[in-house]
Amino acid sequence: MRAMILKQPKPIEESPLFYEDVEEPFPGKGEIRIKIKSCGVCHTDLHTIEGDLSLPKLPIIPGHQIVGIVDNLGSDTHRFKAGERVGVPWLYSTCQDCQFCIRGLENLCEKAYFTGLHKDGGYAQYIVVPEDFSYPLPDRFPDLQAAPLLCAGIIGYRSLRLSEIKPGEKLGMYGFGASAHVTIQVARYLGCEVYVFTRSAEHRKHAEERGAFWTGSADDKPPVLMDSSIIFAPSGDLVLKALKILRKGGTLALAGIHMSPIPKMDYHLIYGERTIRSVANSTRGDAEELLKLAAGIPLHTDIEVFPLNEANEVLKRLKRSEIKGAAVLEIPEG
């Protein structure tokens, strides 16, 4: 099969992914093989490729927003049949018996594996995954439009929940890429008033198209304080700026898996029972709830589509904030 392979982490400007032939995988017990149709491109892919994350496996095939068709079943499988369409997210598997899994916090599992990090991901024609960590997809979403739901949508949904925003309250969003453009639609569905902070004029326009009440840069002062905020951009400097306009008792959720250092801050920025919390991965429950919501609202994913062999160029554009909505790789047949 054809795949984009990372052999050593390097800056994306050096085009470190290689388009090569690799051996097709075959499913084992409890696993299914998926013929991949599309795979979303995520900032976590960029952090993986550039070495911001510790890499437990090299070479590795990145990608964790995967849509495809089940084409081979391992032994002891029961959830899916050949020919069914499924999605695969970042969470590849968990141990299911550690203290976190037992408490319903499998996103914090000490022995969790992640797609495109511990196990080969979706920048390829086939992938093998545990069937218990794969999901049926709403019929209303074509393959390309469904891909961003599987990380941008899921992690955005968890971030929204952990921000403790209530219907009708004022929500701040910092950065407006793939995840934020899906999350704003859930927030608006809940009746929230959304304020978007981003450097990009194009992204501010996109936020307004998706229902933002107000847009500006992180240095601009909105007309009101935020009840809750989510930082999607991987910039630690934004934490201080967001806290300055967060009301007492408000929560600031940090949605990224990687962030630049947070500057030293004065205590008064968090005094008043303000909360800062990270968002670490997601659970199967998050995925199931988001996909149900996606069909019911219904959500709309704004995408730019590229062929698999252009993944290096797509990631360069992502790093430069030149993607409107989400980038999706279309996987070739054969």
Phi, psi of 269 (to 5 degrees): -70, -30
* Region for 184 from its dihedrals, namely left if φ exceeds 0, alpha if ψ lies in -120 to 50, beta otherwise: alpha
DSSP 265-305: --GGGTTTT-EEEE-----HHHHHHHHHHHHHTT----EEE
**Contact status, residue 65 vs residue 19, Cβ threshold 8 Å:** no
pTM of the model: 0.94
- HSE of 333 in the Cβ direction (CA atoms, 13 Å)? 0
- Output the pLDDT for position 199: 94
**What kind and span of H or E run contains 113?**
strand 113-114
Cα 65 to Cα 39: distance, rounded to the nearest angstrom: 5
Each residue's pLDDT, cut to its tens digit, for the chain (334 residues) gives 999 999 999 999 999 999 999 999 999 999 999 999 999 999 999 999 999 999 999 999 999 999 999 999 999 999 999 999 999 999 999 999 999 999 999 999 999 999 999 999 999 999 999 999 999 999 999 999 999 999 999 999 999 999 999 999 999 999 999 999 999 999 999 999 999 999 999 999 999 999 999 999 999 999 999 999 999 999 999 999 999 999 999 999 999 999 999 999 999 999 999 999 999 999 999 999 999 999 999 999 999 999 999 999 999 999 999 999 999 999 999 7
- Spatial CB neighbours of 320, under 8 Å, sequence gap ≥ 6: none
230 SS3 class: strand
In one-letter notation, the amino acid at residue 54 is S
DSSP 101: H
Beta-sheet pairing, 214-216 with 193-197: parallel
**Signed CA dihedral, 52, 54, 57, 63: sign only:** negative
Domains in the chain, please, with CATH? 2-150+301-330 (3.90.180.10), 154-278 (3.40.50.720)
Number of H helices, E strands in the chain: 9, 17
Q: 273: alpha, beta or left, given left = phi > 0 and alpha = psi -120 to 50?
A: left
Residue 334: predicted pLDDT: 73
Enter the tokens of residue 192: 């929230």
Pairing of the two strands 31-41 and 66-73: antiparallel
